[in-house]
Structure 1
Amino acid sequence: MALESDAVAGATIELLEARLRRLTYLLSGATDWTGVPTTPEKPASHDETVSRRLFRLEKELERLSRSVPAVRDVLQLHDRFPDLFQPPNPHTIPEGLTPRALASIVLSYTTAFPETASRLTSLKDLPIPEAHKSAALVELQPRFDRLAQTQSEQAAAISELRVRSARVLQRWYEVGLVGSGECWAEWEGRLEDVEREVRRTEVIRERREKEI
């Protein structure tokens, strides 16, 4: 049980590291010679943090929507008909196509028909397995079903762990990276205010001493 817990913990850490590298690449867009994403530089000020950059982008989009009618129309269209911006399902026949257009789509796959027919013909030449071998495979079917069920349960557990790891990583990124950067920026601003106040006090004191 301990070994399984260690294995799950190790796999979770690997997933977190992979997600962190992916986020790092999205932020920096650069990698070293081995392909590992480089760590993004610390923001020079509070205005250079990710949250402030996203805020500026949102404000710029609002400004464009007010000044450019085309942008405003696109945003309104997205709000009213969001399905238009989703890719169509490749397995669904599009509506509104004429029979000629549908025929052209079908005829574009005519080269695959002979190949499929030859493969179906070759299936007739395959030898039929012996009866005892088929019976052995049939007897193994319950085990296969149990293995498939176990695999499905493991896939569901892994999916849940991925979701939880993504939430943990998001929380750590928001609090640990973005939050600490904003905190340092705020402290730096406070220190600058204190330095200005100290300098102002020193200047006033020097002037009083010269007057005396």
Structure 2
Amino acid sequence: MATNTVDPEVAARGTLALLQTRLHRLEFLLSGYSNEEGIPEPTLAPARSNDTIWAKLHSLEAEVVKLNKLNGQAGEVVRNVERLSSTYPDLFLPTTSPSDIPRSQDLNTLASIVLSHATLFPETASRLSSLQTLQVPPAEQSSKLASLIPRLAQCKEAERSMGEDIRELRERSTRCLEWWVKIGVIGTADLYEDWEIRIHEIERHLIRSERRAGEEQGYL
């Protein structure tokens, strides 16, 4: 009776291939870089203990504790965030779930899409790190800006009132122009036409009178 046996060498090669694929995925998650073939560069072990992930996490926790103890705006912001996280923990939960992953494409297509946007990860990280160099403005400047809010509201109200006045002046100008066209232009033209008709009638009357007078005197 024949039995289906798997060649140990083939099984070992398949296992190594699967392990290598998982290793590439982990390396890509850690570095965010890959070559043209989609294979990430190998991740080297940290030379110092301070470069490990756990050491960086402890360092971040220490920095957060320092910020929490500050008396300025930065400390207040950190304390507000912690208060929100303790009161509303759902705000800091990821909004996506495994069911939200698109199933219309296969795994290779989705992987190619992710790899095509791999350069955005270090770019975004560099932008976020550049934000750390920005200094928080002093509280005096913030209070001065806050004191300008009522004046800005008054300026906005004055601008709205001026806009209403300008709109009313435009409507009045339009009505004046319409009146001037109807009375000053069309009315004057009608008046001139009436005068011209009357002058022609007077001229014809004079011509008839002169002709009649000439006939009576024997000139004609």
Tell me if TM exceeds 0.5. Answer: no
**TM bucket normalised to smaller:** 0.3 to 0.5
- Name the TM-score, length of structure 2 as normaliser: 0.37
- Name the TM-score, length of structure 1 as normaliser: 0.39
Which gives a bigger RCO, structure 1 or 2 (Cα 8 Å, sep 6+)? 1
